[in-house]
Homo-oligomer: A and B are copies of this chain.
């Protein structure tokens, strides 16, 4: 039932070409016809049909976003950032989950292809070779956010997890901590797991502190991981004075167990978290943590992608700086 430019043309007594020109204000018509066309368009409640426009222009003004199943709760600010940036540039965002462990990623990519999105953003999903091939074969500009691959030709924006972890542990060492545990990282996760563990280890090595593998408690970045890690530390009677946590939630888990056992943070044990998530400033004490600029990652990534779409340029990967947000969970040892 919706009115088309044909309808407008008929009523206004002009051709569809003229209507199209006016609607898109391309100029080249006198004021009178413009007014008439606009008036009729309004009267008829005209709304342009993006599908038709996309078909002829071969561009959908749409950006496809693929994110892991937990992204909205966890990386929400990335979504916010990229949605804002795309909105401001006249792009719409179409969103799909990659499913648990990326099991839906092929379907997602396929969908993006059929929808002819102008660009693709992949958030925090680990891509294997087959998936990279599928992505590249779409021949659509793309960028990875908070993840990367081992190939050179897949542009990304992310924090350097290794050096962020290094910074965090280094800060603990600067505060004279010498027996430092690590908790919550998943050693099977090549994106967020091993680099953080390695950063932790490297910081110790660089300060000639012996690395004790018993002090590394693996996990899955969760609150529960933190609880479990701390319980083990206690059981082990580990002589730690500080723990580097692979996520803020893990840090909160540790705090929780400490509280139960009358261990004071930071007096008895110091903590550095990772993410600067909303929970980090609500804990007791507020958590010193590594900040990843999620919102900026989203907006910047989106902007880069749009630039690449419009200028057909290649996107350079960038390592976005992390920041140590100092709150009150680390005590300076004398």
Q: A-side interface residues toward B, CB under 8 Å? A: 1, 45, 47-52, 54-55, 60, 62, 69-70, 72-74, 76-77, 79-80, 83-84, 87, 92-97, 104, 110-111, 113-116, 137, 139, 223, 249, 252-253, 255-256, 259, 278-279, 281-284
- Residue from the list B51, B80, B278 in contact with A60, Cβ < 8 A: B51
A282 pairs with B95, CB closer than 8 A: no
Most interface-central of A104, A113, A137 (chain B CB within 10 A):
A113
- Residue from the list B77, B87, B116 in contact with A50, Cβ < 8 A: B116
Bound: A84/B92 CA distance, A? 20
Bound: A97/B72 CA distance, A? 14
Which residue of chain B has its CB nearest to the CB of A79?
B72
A80 pairs with B72, CB closer than 8 A: yes
Q: Which residues of B contact A110 (CB under 8 A)?
A: 47
Q: Which residues of B contact A76 (CB under 8 A)?
A: 72-74, 76
Q: Which residues of B contact A96 (CB under 8 A)?
A: 83, 87, 92-93
A95 pairs with B97, CB closer than 8 A: no
Q: How far is the CB of A85 from chain B (nearest CB, A)?
A: 11
- Residue from the list B111, B115, B223 in contact with A281, Cβ < 8 A: B223
